[in-house]
Amino acid sequence: MSLKRNTIWNLVGTGLPLLLGAVTIPYLLKNIGVEAFGILTLVWALIGYFSLFDFGLGRALTQQVSVARGNQQNSHLPSLIKTGLWFTAVTGLVGGILLAFLAKPLALHWLKISITLQPNTVQALLVASIGIPLTTVTTGFRGILEGFEDFKGVNLLRICLGSANFALPALSVMFIGTSLVWMVASLIIARLIVLAAHAWLVHLKMPAGWMFAKFNKQDMRALLSFGAWMTISNIISPLMVTADRFIISGVLGATVVAYYTVPFELLIRVLIVPSALTAALFPRLASLLTTNIQEADRLYKNSLKIIMTILVPTCLIIALGSKWGMALWLGLDFAEHSWKIVVIMAIGLIFNGVASVPFAAIQAKGRAHATAKLHLLEFVFYVPLLFICLKYAGLMGAALAWTSRVIVDLFALLYLGKKVFYSRI
Distance CA 210, CA 188 (A): 28
For 266-308, how does the pLDDT look when each residue is reduced to its tens digit (9 = 90+)? 787 788 889 888 989 999 998 888 888 888 889 999 999 999 9
389: closest CA among 241, 252, 233?
252
Q: How far is residue 375 CA from its own chain's centroid?
A: 15
Model pLDDT, residue 425: 47
Model pLDDT, residue 279: 87
Asked whether the beta carbons of 262 and 333 are under 8 A apart, the reply is: no
Model pLDDT, residue 255: 65
Model pLDDT, residue 164: 94
> What's the whole-model pTM score?
0.75
* Low-confidence stretches of the chain (pLDDT beneath 50): 424-425
Model pLDDT, residue 187: 95
Model pLDDT, residue 141: 96
Distance CA 44, CA 352 (A): 21
Model pLDDT, residue 240: 75
For 306-348, how does the pLDDT look when each residue is reduced to its tens digit (9 = 90+)? 999 999 999 999 888 888 888 887 788 788 877 888 899 899 9
184: closest CA among 60, 325, 283, 43?
43
Amino acid at site 212: F
Model pLDDT, residue 203: 94
408-412 long-range contacts (CB < 8 A, ≥24 apart) are 408/378, 409/351, 409/352, 409/355, 409/374, 409/378, 410/351, 410/352, 410/354, 410/355, 412/374, 412/378
How many C-beta neighbours within 10 Å does residue 64 have?
27
